[in-house]
Every structure is written in structure tokens, then in C-alpha cells.
Amino acid sequence: MKGAFKSLSIAMAKGYVRDKTTLFFAFVFPLMFLVIFGLLFRDVGSEKIKLGAFGDGQVITVLEQTGIVDVQHFDTLDAGVAKVRDGDLPGLVEATGDKVVLRFAASDQSQAGTVQGLVSGVTQQLNVQASGQPPKYDFSAQQVEDTSLKPIQYLTPGILSWGIAITAVFGAALIMVSWRRKQVLRRLRLSPVGAGTVLGSRLAVTISVAVLQAVIFIAVAMLPVFGLTLSGTWWLAIPVFLMGVLAFFSIGMLVGAFAKTEEAATGMANIVVMPMAFLSGTFFPIDLAPKWLQAVSKVFPLRHMNDGITDFLVRGKGAEALLLPCGVLLGFTVVISVIAAKVFRWEDS
Amino acid sequence: MTSAAIVVEDIHKSYGDLHAVDGVSFTVGHGEFFGILGPNGAGKTTALEIVEGLREPDRGSVRLLDENPFPRNVSLLPRIGVQLQASAFFEKLTAREQLETFASLYGIGAARAREMLDLVGLTDKADTREDKLSGGQRQRLSIACALVHDPDVVFLDEPTAALDPQARRNLWDVLRAIQARGKTIVYTTHYLDEAEILCDRVAIMDRGRILALDTPAALVRGLDAPARITLDRGALTTADAAALPGADEVSEDDQALTFVTRTPAPLLTALAERGVLDGLQVRTATLEDVFLQLTGREYRA
Ligand SMILES: Nc1ncnc2c1ncn2[C@@H]1O[C@H](COP(=O)(O)OP(=O)(O)OP(=O)(O)O)[C@@H](O)[C@H]1O
Ligand SMILES: [Mg+2]
């Protein structure tokens, strides 16, 4: 029944494209998260320390030249002190003539420490220069490239996996429920096509949508504003991606078999996807979570999809790293599909 | 091929305490136009769906084209066409796309879809989305979808509900044409007059049982109900009227003089001879009377 498969796929694709809501959730919604988080975390780690200043002493000029502090000048001492007291600034440097006074708020210990170290360091440096002696100890700083990822590098696989999970779960679940309620399933049951053809064509549509989503999503993430860079083995992420689509499609089928109404299906799908999204590193790296939570998150397919895609898309791991995520996702798909097939209903009794 | 397209023997179906179908048997011959009549909740849809193989009867047996329709019998499916009572369409597709999709499920090309649109008078609505069609247009599309693969047995569940008189008559023509090509039609309706016109035989159903099953003419004849002849009031006095041959009963109200007669011919002749035919109406018994007699209730379509 090749003709039936093709025309059912086309019918479903048309239904999909003509539905503004599903289009929004598939293409715009995940992108919104990428844009928001991408811009929000773009400057993480490169934030400057703020410091108030009163007077025109040399210390203040040097502090400004370091480029790591954002110096804010005040006309009166009281105005500056008030800002510190309110917690708007971690400290205020008063530098008039030879006198350098730092006033700091004790509420934020680490900020206060940073500010004190900074100001005293600059002051000592100036003292050494003023003495005309060469410094006895030579100090220089060098940056070491760290292995942790820039935010966009983990946000992209995370939000992408999540977006795909939503599309696959909701797409499969809602179509099942709506077709059952509108008697389309009964009508199909009366035609000579098999349930496999019906499911297969739906899966074909879901995979096509997911591929399109991924292409658009990654293209946007690679824009200079966000700055995603792909690793050399990015294409190894494709099998993980496809296995992920299968796993979430089967979850959607299961939800669709149980839910009686579209509302119930939406609710159930949310209950399944939301906790996964939070605990699988969609919005923050899972390495930041407590150890036990990291262990718990390993039961979620989204975690493995996310990890797998991150490994290839941005970390550049080799093919041997395919085994774990693909194996887990495939196992998940098989188990859930068998259950979904068992509880499948053509109509509400 | 045996003589019957459908053989139903003593089927039962209960939902909890409710006997939706309570011992129904009937046989439909090849090429026959068979009607199932009955009020809401009579069990028509349930019985029809058991025959189509959509539901399993609690008890009893069904043979459809010499096969068992339940469980899902894929070899039988291309030979039957079903219009469900609630129309079933793919989301957001136009009338033409619906038909093309259904046609392809049976391996039939798109040309047939155009033919079907024409058949049910929806050619000008070909590119209208299904959810933008009127109730009657949806109904016609749903019938077209049931016929698209040219099935041997057609099941239609209230196909003329929601149709305007013109569309209803057009559909009668379509159904007659299908029957003329040797197809078997089983359909349910609330319209007694329609069943009388279309059906070779009708089953009258109420509360899960078949109360009577025969040709419409035989059912009416079996009633042995008198004819009613009415004239404008004042055409004759009641005394004169009662004296006429064949006037079994005479009554008069504000508008009309009514005769009840078992021998309408001599009475009509006598009236004609006297030249008093103003406002003449002759009403013989209909399925409505049959229903009234069988159930003791007035028919509410
Ligand atoms: N799935 C179901 N679950 C429970 N009761 C049902 C179900 N389907 C039908 N019934 C009941 O069975 C009885 C017969 O229903 P059915 O749909 O066969 O009637 P019908 O003759 O087709 O009526 P209508 O003219 O309104 O279409 C009704 O009382 C109905 O409430
Ligand atoms: Mg019904």
C-alpha cells in the first residue's frame, strides 16, 4: 500500500502546515527560548565589577584603565555612599590627593573581598611606582582555556532536544486523540490500510518536521549574535537525533492511547515532558545539579538525547560515543512502542 | 455468490443494562435497497455497525458477502462503503483532498475524486475546507467518501438528515442510480415517506427490536387501515354525506368534511357525480400509520 502511505503522509503534512498553533509550537516556541537564553547568557562570566568613585586621584584613573571595572563617578561623597548602603554598588573609592579610602558593603562578602583586593592591589602598584624602585616580584596573569562550554554550546543541543521532544510527543498524542474523537480512526479501520501504514505515515511527517526544526534551529544558533560553532563530528548527532524522535514519538503514541480528550492529552504530555526538560540539561548544564539529581536524570530519554547531541554537535566526540545514547533511546522506543500497541484503541468504547 | 448479500441472525448488543440491539435478524438480497426505520435510540446505528464489523455483537451472527465482518476483515473492506452517522474527515483538508485521500486508501486515482464531487453536487466546493462546509454539504461529502471506491454494498447511516429538500431529492437520484448498477444499499432514516419511496423493503425498529419487516406496500396493506377523504366544509351536509355509498364514517370540523372509507372508489365516483370535489384530498395509510399501530406512539421524526 505504497500509494496509501504517501497520500496519508501528504494529508497529514497538509493538516500540519495549515495549523497555525502547531507551527508556532514546532518552529517559533523553541526558537524563542534559544533567543532569550542565548542573549541572556551571552555575557555570562564577562560581567564587569561595578565600583563607585569620588574624587580624581590617580588610583581611579588606573582602575578605569584595567578594563575589568565599571567605574561610576559621584559628585558628592554622600551620594556614592548612599548607593553602597542600598546595595546597588559593592564599594566606593574615595581618592583625593594622597588619600585612598574604600567603603564597601559587608552584605556581599565575596564582592567585598574582590573589590578590596582590587583597590589595594592598584594602590600598592602605584606605591611601588612612586618609590622609583623596580618591583622585586614580577607578577603576570595568563588565561587557561577551560573545558566547560560557552552557554550557547550547551543551550543549543538542550533546547533543540526539548523542542523535538515536544513536537514528537504532542504531535503523536494529539493526532491520535483527535482522530479517534472525530472518528477518522474508525473510518480508516473500515478501509483496507493497516494500522502500521497509518502510524508509519504519521511518523514520517513527525521526522520531516523534526529535521526541518533542527536545521532552522541550528542555523539561527550559528548566527554571529549567538555564535554556535559546530564540532568536526557534528553529523554523528544525526542518528542520536533520529533515535530521539522515535523515542518521543512512541511516548506520544502511549499518551494518545490513554487520553480521551485533546485537553487530557496536552496535560499528560506536559507532565511527561516538563520534568524531563528541567532535569535533562535543557536550560542549564546538568553538571551543575547535585549528584543524586544527575543520577535520577539518567532515566529520562531526553537526558540521553541531549547528552548524545551535545557530544557530537559541539564536543566533537568519536563514533564510539554513539553506543550509549542510541542504545538507551532505542531500548526506550521498543519498550514504549510495545506497551502503546497493547493499549491502542480504534475508538472510545 | 449465494442469494443474500447480508444475513443477520439474532444479534444482541447491550451497554450495561441497556439492550441497544435485542435480537435482530434480517436478510438483504443482492441489489436490494433495504431501509431501517426507527426513532432516536432505536438501535439502528448499533445494528448497522455490527453488520459493518465495527462492533462485536454480544450474541448472534453476521455474514456479509459470505464473510465474517468481525474482527476486522481486510479482504471484505474494499467491497463495502460506509458513511458513519457522524462524519469523519481528515483535519484541514479541502473537499477534493478528502476524497483523493480516501480514494488512495483503496488504490484509486484522483480522477475518481472529481467524478464523486460532481455526483454529489459539490464541484464548486472542491477547494473549500471540510470545516467550512455547511452541514448538508458535509453530509454529501461524507456520502461521496463512502462511494469513492465503488463498493458492492453501501451502508448509509441517515444520509438524508440535514439535507434540504432539493439535495434530498438529488441524493435519492444518486442512490437509485447506484442501485440500478446492481449494488446493495442498506440505509437508516427517520423519514417514513422517503423510505416508502426508496426502499424495496423496510425494517421498522424500536427499542432494539425489529417490529415489522416487509415491502412498504405490504406493510401498509397489512394495516388494513381505511382511507380518509376530505372536502371543504359545506360542500355537503353531514346527513347527505353519510348517505353516500362507501361512507363508513363522516365527521365535520371548522374547515373540512371527512369521510372514513374502506371502499374509496364508489365514494369518489358518487362525489364526482354530484360535482362536489372542492378541496378534495385522499389520504391512504402510510408507514407512519404502520409505525403508530406497531408502537402505539405517534412518530416523531
Ligand atoms: N457506545 C455506547 N455506549 C453506551 N450506550 C450506547 C452506545 N452507543 C449507543 N448506545 C445506546 O444504545 C441505544 C441505541 O443507540 P443507536 O445509536 O443505535 O440508536 P439509533 O437508532 O441509531 O438512534 P439515532 O436515530 O438517534 O441515530 C441508545 O439508547 C444509545 O444511548
Ligand atoms: Mg443512529
| pLDDT score for A145 | 47
Please indicate whether residue B11, judged by its CB atom, sits closer than 6 Å to ligand 1.
Answer: no
Cα angle, residue A174 at apex, residues A221 and A166 outer, rounded to 5°: 20
Q: Are residues A160 and A236 in the same domain?
A: yes
Is residue A138 one of the residues assigned to a domain?
A: no
| Residue ranges making up the domain that contains A297 | 2-42+150-343
Q: What are phi and psi of A223, to 5 degrees?
A: -60, 150
Radius of gyration of chain B (CA): 23
| pLDDT score for A123 | 85
Quote the ligand 2 centre to B4 CA distance (angstroms). Answer: 24
| pLDDT score for A44 | 60
Which stretches within chain A are classed as H helix?
2-17, 20-23, 29-40, 58-66, 77-85, 109-131, 151-181, 184-189, 195-221, 237-258, 262-279, 291-297, 301-313, 323-343
Instruction: Residues B4-217: name the CATH superfamily.
Output: P-loop containing nucleotide triphosphate hydrolases (3.40.50.300)
Q: Are residues A101 and A164 in the same domain?
A: no
Q: Do A15 and B84 touch (CB under 8 A)?
A: no
What is the nearest CA distance from A183 to chain B, expressed in angstroms? Answer: 5
Q: Do A191 and B106 touch (CB under 8 A)?
A: yes
Number of structural domains found in chain A: 2
| pLDDT score for B299 | 58
For residue A127, give the CATH number of its domain. 3.40.190.10
The tens digit of pLDDT for each residue in B115-162 reads 999 989 899 999 999 999 998 899 999 999 999 999 999 999 999 988
CA–CA separation, B79 vs B6, rounded Å? 13
Q: Do B84 and A186 touch (CB under 8 A)?
A: yes
Residue B86 has its nearest CB partner, among A7, A183, A189, at: A183
CA–CA separation, A260 vs A69, rounded Å? 60
For ligand 1, atom 6, the nearest C-alpha belongs to B15
- pLDDT band at B105; cut points 50, 70, 90: very high
User: Do the strands B184-189 and B33-37 form a parallel or antiparallel pair, or are they unpaired?
Assistant: parallel
> Is the Cβ of B84 closer than 8 Å to some Cβ of chain A?
yes
Is residue A136 one of the residues assigned to a domain?
A: no
| pLDDT score for A144 | 55
CA–CA separation, B138 vs A91, rounded Å? 75
| pLDDT score for B44 | 95
Name the class of domain B226-284: alpha beta
Domain extent listing, chain B: 4-217, 226-284
Is residue A144 one of the residues assigned to a domain?
A: no
Is residue A236 one of the residues assigned to a domain?
A: yes
| pLDDT score for A345 | 81
Q: Are residues A255 and A314 in the same domain?
A: yes
- What's chain B's average pLDDT? 89
Please indicate whether residue B142, judged by its CB atom, sits closer than 6 Å to ligand 1.
Answer: no
For ligand 1, atom 3, the nearest C-alpha belongs to B15
| pLDDT score for A164 | 92
Is residue A141 one of the residues assigned to a domain?
A: no
Q: Are residues A166 and A239 in the same domain?
A: yes
Of chain B, the percentage scoring pLDDT greater than 70 comes to 98
Nearest in space to A210 (alpha carbons), one of A161, A247, A265, A270:
A161
Quote the ligand 1 centre to B44 CA distance (angstroms). Answer: 8
What is the nearest CA distance from A179 to chain B, expressed in angstroms? Answer: 8
Q: Are residues A274 and A300 in the same domain?
A: yes
- The grid cell for A211 is 529535521
CA–CA separation, A212 vs A204, rounded Å? 12
Q: Going residue by residue through chain A, which has 349 residues, state the pLDDT in tens, using 9 for 90 and above.
A: 578 899 999 999 998 889 888 888 888 888 888 888 888 877 665 566 788 888 888 888 888 877 778 888 888 888 888 888 888 888 888 888 788 888 887 777 777 788 888 888 888 888 888 888 877 777 776 655 455 677 888 888 999 999 999 989 998 898 889 889 888 999 999 999 988 888 889 999 999 999 999 999 999 999 988 888 888 889 999 999 999 999 999 999 999 998 989 999 999 999 999 888 888 878 777 777 888 888 888 889 999 999 999 989 888 888 888 999 999 999 999 999 999 888 888 887 6
> Is the Cβ of A182 closer than 8 Å to some Cβ of chain B?
yes
Q: Do A15 and B91 touch (CB under 8 A)?
A: yes
Q: Note whether B178 and B31 are within 8 A (CB).
A: no
Quote the ligand 2 centre to A263 CA distance (angstroms). Answer: 27
Tell me how crowded residue B111 is: count the other CB atoms within 10 A of its CB: 10
3-class secondary structure, B96 = helix
Q: Are residues A175 and A30 in the same domain?
A: yes
Quote the ligand 2 centre to B28 CA distance (angstroms). Answer: 19
Q: Are residues A12 and A100 in the same domain?
A: no
Q: What is the Cβ-side half-sphere exposure of residue B273, based on CA atoms within 13 angstroms?
A: 8
Q: Are residues A264 and A326 in the same domain?
A: yes
Which stretches within A259-322 are classed as H helix?
262-279, 291-297, 301-313
Residue B92: its chain A contacts at CB < 8 A? 14-15, 18-19
Range scoring the smallest mean pLDDT among A23-32, A116-125, B97-106, B286-295? B286-295
Q: Do A19 and B84 touch (CB under 8 A)?
A: no
Is residue A81 one of the residues assigned to a domain?
A: yes
Q: Are residues A96 and A229 in the same domain?
A: no
Q: Are residues A332 and A251 in the same domain?
A: yes
Q: Are residues A333 and A193 in the same domain?
A: yes
Is residue A145 one of the residues assigned to a domain?
A: no
Decide if pLDDT at B29 tops 90: yes
Q: Are residues A312 and A255 in the same domain?
A: yes
CA–CA separation, A284 vs A280, rounded Å? 9
Name the residues around ion ligand 2, CB cutoff 5 A: B 44-45, 85
Q: Do B97 and A192 touch (CB under 8 A)?
A: no
Please indicate whether residue B44, judged by its CB atom, sits closer than 6 Å to ligand 1.
Answer: yes
According to DSSP, residue A322 is labeled G
